[in-house]
Amino acid sequence: MKIIVTGGAGFIASQIADAYLDQGHRVIVVDDLSRGKIEQVSKQAKFYRANIRDRRKMEAIFKKEKPEMVNHHAAQIDLRKSVADPVMDAEINILGSINLAELALKYRVKKFIFACTGGALYGEQDYFPADENHPIRPLSPYGIAKRTVEMYLYYYGRVHGLKYVSLRYSNVYGPRQDPFGEAGVVAIFAEKLWRKQTPLINGPGKQTRDFVYVGDVVRANLLALKPGIVGEFNIGTGIETSVNRIYLELGRAVGVKIRPVHGPAKKGEQMRSVLDYSLARKRLGWEPKTKLDQGLLQTAQYFKP
């Protein structure tokens, strides 16, 4: 199949693009390189530097390439930035996504795969782990935007027949993650520990997250291509891990002990987040395979200077 991968120069989507290529698909990567890295784009993929908000340029790409599938990962991913500038976040994450959905309809794309969020979607959970029926109460514009796109995809599906899959990721970590932004605590810690620098932990560090390895997330995106698979699916491990424990485990993997500094908690950040992946196991045939200690060791080795 011919697949457009937006954000395909970034952490997660570049590895999805590689996996699609390995399975014999033709891949078109679209990325504006605001965060992505061109060196992460395979030479086997066709690359367009474009912003998903640019309707004219995106339409030219769809018209020329006539993709059968869209895998949409291009996004503003920084929760803190979404709080500081909700308009900017909405312009990228909502309007940019609507552009793509409209083009997918116009050019008769078979399926639209969307990278959503689990933790930021459900907010403070009523029960643990959260399944897909958990109340949705996002505490940030980022989470609101992701849910809004899901609702648009539901509309496009019910009214116009666009098949879609929304993968609600927990906290994804692994090689190629950006250690210099606000997102990606594993990468940030690993990079600083190798340089023997003191990292900052936002809040007490007792807040828990569901850390899922990027290789497992890639497999979910491969399985999402299967005919008949539609709807929303949590992609996580069902296991809570505190930020403090992540820091200690990475310290062991790197072989250093540095006392962290604790700063103020991020606005809009919940204390506990963990996802139930039972539906993905039942419908997609997916489950996480990488244990946390294995994934952290592989990630630490990736960032070794």
Task: Write the CATH number for 126.
Answer: 3.40.50.720
Range of 203's domain?
A: 177-209+239-273+290-302
Residues 224 and 205 in one domain: no
pLDDT of residue 265: 86
Give a yes or no: residue 185 inside a domain. Answer: yes
**What residues of the chain score a pLDDT lower than 70?**
181-183, 267-269
Give a yes or no: residue 35 inside a domain. Answer: yes
pLDDT of residue 134: 98
Q: Can you give the CATH number for the domain in which 204 is found? A: 3.90.25.10
- What sign results for the dihedral spanned by CA atoms 281, 286, 288, 290? positive
Catalytic residues, by residue number, are 142
Question: pTM (2 decimals)?
Answer: 0.97
pLDDT of residue 240: 98
pLDDT of residue 270: 84
φ/ψ region of 244 (left if φ > 0, alpha if ψ in -120 to 50, else beta) reads alpha
Number of domains forming the structure of the chain: 2
Distance CA 33, CA 91 (A): 17
b/e for 173-194, b at 16 or more Cβ within 10 A?
bbbbbbeeeebbbbbbbbbbbb
Give a yes or no: residue 281 inside a domain. Answer: no
